[in-house]
Structure 1
Amino acid sequence: MLRLAAASLAGTAIEFYDFFVYGTAAALVLGPLFFPTFSPLAGTLAAFGTFGVGFVARPLGSVLFGHIGDRHGRRPVLVLSLLLTGGATVAVGCVPTYGSIGVAAPLLLLVLRFLQGLGLGGEWGGAVLLTAEHAPAGRRGLWSSFPQVGPALGFLLANGVMLVLSATLTEAQFASWGWRVPFWAAGVLALAGLRLRSSLAESPSFLALDDHARVPLVEVARDHWRLVLLTAGGLAIGYAIFYAVTTWSLAYGTERLGVSRTVMLACIMAAVLVKGSLTPVVALLGDRYGRRPLCLTGCAAAALWMFPLVALLSTGEPPLMFLGFLGAMLAFITMFAVIAAYLPELYEPRVRCTGAAVGYNLGGVLGGALTPIVATALAEQGGRVPWGVGAYLTGIALLSLGCFALLPETRPVALVVAGAAEPALD
């Protein structure tokens, strides 16, 4: 289990590095480089628009790779999704700017961001299911949380590279070629990930299946549509929090508040580091007290913290901004630490890869794709403190709270019969 969990963690870290490095670049440099004819605000919105395309592609990726995972196994999904996401990320670093090839530049950016999202849409389902379906029932939350640490590591790696480049290069060097370096590095990371995943064993739940779904998406849409919609709505606030903190606030802090790029990145990275470190601890609580109670607690905490978040951010003071980010990340991880165990437990094995991944990635469209765009527009209409952003995020938190309230608990409970074993995932 340790070897499997480590390989899943490394793979998700690499794939989310690819995804996050684009978000950081969109907040910092893509607007003026690829949309120079726009005003600064419009250029940022356009860059966030290409950022959002990756989220729109993720449910499509979950359908494509979910079909492969439910029909041919979880393991092929891990290899194919890593190749697609890594290749698209390297290509982003090679796209000429608007000044070199005109309108073709943002169009190429759009296509490659779509391919990034397509690959990532398959990654989560494959990595999580391979871990969850190998894990013992009583510690499924803990072992399944390892792939959930991957996004935090990917984010820290992506932003750490950006932070070093920002601190060591001049503005002209960073805008000319420095921002491309993290994208090129994705190729090396993808090769390392493929090496790690090449020897993983297939999921026992998949191998035990005698009757595979012919078209998994059809079965999910026919028999589990309500479950998909509720999980997507429940997860929306987690995505909204994460990208409000890591993408929108970065642009808002540097452009509107005049805080240096280095300071903003450092504050955000410190909060994400705490979040990643606490993920296994919170997952253990999920094994002990259940998945649903933690999701409800995280949503309630988010609803209470969104107005303090924007108030602390608007001060422009690093300690206060960090406090705001930290509170948001703690609410986020209270939900997302247990999601990797919760979603697979909601679906039967024959459609589990498709159902869990589609619900997870639709939540990304609802909460992640729109948040940087909507928050940027709302902040422009407000005063010094963007209260509209707080109201928007609070509304999403209440929506997610209602969705989780309608979902069942799934935590396996040991049978009281003497000698009975805990139930398996399938």
Structure 2
Amino acid sequence: MLRLATASLVGTAIEFYDFFVYGTAAALVLGPLFFPSFSPLAGTLAAFGTFGVGFVARPLGSALFGHIGDRYGRRPVLLGSLLLTGLATVAVGCVPSFASIGIAAPVLLLLLRFLQGLGLGGEWGGAVLLTAEHAPERRRGLWSSFPQMGPAAGFLLANGLTLGLSGALSEAQFASWGWRVPFWAAGLLALAGLWLRRSVEETPEFRSLAEAGRQADAPLAEVVRGHWRLLLLTGGAMAVGYAVFYAVTTWALAYATGRLGVDRTVMLTVVMAAVLLKGLVTPVLAVLGDRWGRRPLCLAGSAACALWMFPFVALLETADPLLMTVGCVGALLAMVLMFAVVGAYLPELYAPRLRCTGAAVGYNLGGVLGGALTPVVATALADGAGPPWGVAVYLTGISLVSLGCFALLPDTRPALARAARSEPAVA
């Protein structure tokens, strides 16, 4: 289990590194380089718009790779999604700026961001099922939390490299070529991930399905036709995790460095400290989920997010590094109450023959509402005098929507799951 979980964690970290390095670049440099005729605010909004395209692509990637995972096995998903995301990320680092090739530059950026999202949409389902379907029932939450630590590891790697380059290079050097280095590094990381995953075995549950010839012929059609309510509730429930995470790691970075005048290195350090703590507590909370159930922690996390969004904005507005750190840490700790256990919870909601598609599409639908829109909406809401209370209202609203969706989803504690095992889905 440790070897499998490590392969899952490392691969997920690499894919999220690819995804996050784009978000950091969008917050810091992509606006002036690829949308130079726009005002600073409009350029940032346009850069975040290309950032959001990756989230729109993620449910499509989930459907594509989910079909492969439910029909042909989880292992091909792990390899194919990593390769696609890695190649697209390296290519982003090679796209010339608007000054060199004109309108073709943002068009290429948009296309490659779409391919990034397509690959990452398949990664999560394959990674969590690798651990969830190998793990013993009583420790499923713990082992499934390893891929849930991947986003934190990927973010720290992406921002750590960006932070080092930002400190070592002049402003002109960083804008000219320094921002491209983290994208090029994705190629080496992808090769390392493929090497690590090359010997991963297929999961026992899929092998049993294949031996009995019980794979779904059209898993997406079955999920949409038979379990559309479960799918929509899953997407709505996941929105809070995306919204809060990207409010802290992308919007707050752009807002603090642009509007508040906080030094880029200082703000990157603040955000990285919050993400590091989030990653460290993830397995601890997952163990609590194994003991008390996943759904209670999801409800607690959504409620905590709703309560913390106004303090988060108020602390960010101070521009004091210590207080901003407190605000960001509080937001991510509230969010991780939910995020730590969904790697086990979402697969438990779906039968094995539909699991790779259902869990992954539901997970990534939440990204469209919470991840794609949050940086754009928050940036627009913050365009005015005074503290951006509109951002706090927006994030609180998403938190309450997710709280309602989690309240309508079923509990999957082992005793209840055993009673429903003969059903096509828990719901």
* TM value normalised by structure 1: 0.97
1:101 corresponds to which residue? Answer: 101
2:361 corresponds to which residue? Answer: 358
Distance in 1 (alpha carbons) for counterparts of 2:18 and 2:298: 27
Read off the aligned partner of 1:238 and give its amino acid letter.
Answer: G
2:397 corresponds to which residue? Answer: 395
Read off the aligned partner of 2:14 and give its amino acid letter.
Answer: I
1:171 counterpart = 2:171 = yes
**Count of paired positions:** 417
Read off the aligned partner of 1:104 and give its amino acid letter.
Answer: A
Q: CA deviation at 1:414?
A: 9.9
1:152 corresponds to which residue? Answer: 152
1:380 counterpart = 2:380 = no
Q: CA deviation at 1:96?
A: 0.2
Q: CA deviation at 1:223?
A: 1.0
Structure 1 residues 162-189: Cα deviation after superposition (integer angstroms, max 9, x where no partner): 0000000000000000000000000000
Q: CA deviation at 1:370?
A: 0.1
Q: CA deviation at 1:268?
A: 0.3
Read off the aligned partner of 1:40 and give its amino acid letter.
Answer: P
Read off the aligned partner of 1:399 and give its amino acid letter.
Answer: V
Distance in 2 (alpha carbons) for counterparts of 1:342 and 1:224: 16
1:341 corresponds to which residue? Answer: 344
2:241 corresponds to which residue? Answer: 238
SS in 2 for 1:208: helix
2:63 corresponds to which residue? Answer: 63
SS in 1 for 2:96: coil
Distance in 2 (alpha carbons) for counterparts of 1:414 and 1:299: 23
Distance in 2 (alpha carbons) for counterparts of 1:63 and 1:167: 41
Read off the aligned partner of 1:161 and give its amino acid letter.
Answer: L
Check the 8 A contact 1:314/1:384 in 2, yes or no: no
SS in 1 for 2:383: helix
Check the 8 A contact 1:169/1:178 in 2, yes or no: yes
Distance in 2 (alpha carbons) for counterparts of 1:87 and 1:109: 13
Structure 1 residues 134-173: Cα deviation after superposition (integer angstroms, max 9, x where no partner): 0000000000000000110000000000000000000000
Distance in 2 (alpha carbons) for counterparts of 1:399 and 1:121: 23
Distance in 2 (alpha carbons) for counterparts of 1:69 and 1:188: 26
SS in 1 for 2:260: coil
Q: CA deviation at 1:130?
A: 1.0
1:319 corresponds to which residue? Answer: 322
Read off the aligned partner of 1:219 and give its amino acid letter.
Answer: E
1:228 counterpart = 2:231 = yes
Read off the aligned partner of 2:302 and give its amino acid letter.
Answer: C
Read off the aligned partner of 1:208 and give its amino acid letter.
Answer: S
1:284 counterpart = 2:287 = yes
Q: CA deviation at 1:378?
A: 0.2
Change (3 A) 1:212 1:414: closer
Distance in 2 (alpha carbons) for counterparts of 1:217 and 1:414: 26
1:420 corresponds to which residue? Answer: none
Q: CA deviation at 1:384?
A: 2.5
Distance in 2 (alpha carbons) for counterparts of 1:158 and 1:411: 36
Distance in 1 (alpha carbons) for counterparts of 2:416 and 2:55: 38
2:298 corresponds to which residue? Answer: 295
Percent identical among aligned pairs is: 77
Change (3 A) 1:414 1:251: closer
1:44 corresponds to which residue? Answer: 44
1:26 corresponds to which residue? Answer: 26
Structure 1 residues 296-355: Cα deviation after superposition (integer angstroms, max 9, x where no partner): 000000000000000000000000000000000001110000000000000001110000
Q: CA deviation at 1:415?
A: 11
Read off the aligned partner of 2:377 and give its amino acid letter.
Answer: V
- Structure 2: runs of 5 or more not aligned: 419-424
Check the 8 A contact 1:271/1:325 in 2, yes or no: yes
Structure 1 consecutive aligned stretches of length 4 or more whose deviation exceeds 4 Å: none
- Structure 1: runs of 5 or more not aligned: 417-424
Change (3 A) 1:415 1:403: closer
Check the 8 A contact 1:52/1:369 in 2, yes or no: yes
1:405 counterpart = 2:407 = yes
1:14 corresponds to which residue? Answer: 14
Q: CA deviation at 1:412?
A: 1.3
Distance in 1 (alpha carbons) for counterparts of 2:189 and 2:41: 33
SS in 1 for 2:200: coil
Structure 1 residues 173-229: Cα deviation after superposition (integer angstroms, max 9, x where no partner): 000000000000000000000000000010100000121111101100011111110
Check the 8 A contact 1:271/1:322 in 2, yes or no: yes
Read off the aligned partner of 2:397 and give its amino acid letter.
Answer: G
Distance in 2 (alpha carbons) for counterparts of 1:413 and 1:89: 44
Distance in 2 (alpha carbons) for counterparts of 1:212 and 1:270: 44
Distance in 2 (alpha carbons) for counterparts of 1:331 and 1:174: 34
Distance in 1 (alpha carbons) for counterparts of 2:57 and 2:235: 15
Read off the aligned partner of 2:268 and give its amino acid letter.
Answer: L
Structure 1 residues 259-314: Cα deviation after superposition (integer angstroms, max 9, x where no partner): 00000000000000000000000000000000000000000000000000000000
Distance in 2 (alpha carbons) for counterparts of 1:214 and 1:7: 29
Distance in 2 (alpha carbons) for counterparts of 1:7 and 1:27: 30
2:421 corresponds to which residue? Answer: none
Q: CA deviation at 1:102?
A: 0.2
Distance in 1 (alpha carbons) for counterparts of 2:231 and 2:289: 21
Read off the aligned partner of 1:3 and give its amino acid letter.
Answer: R
SS in 1 for 2:36: coil
SS in 2 for 1:370: helix
Read off the aligned partner of 1:364 and give its amino acid letter.
Answer: G
Distance in 2 (alpha carbons) for counterparts of 1:89 and 1:413: 44
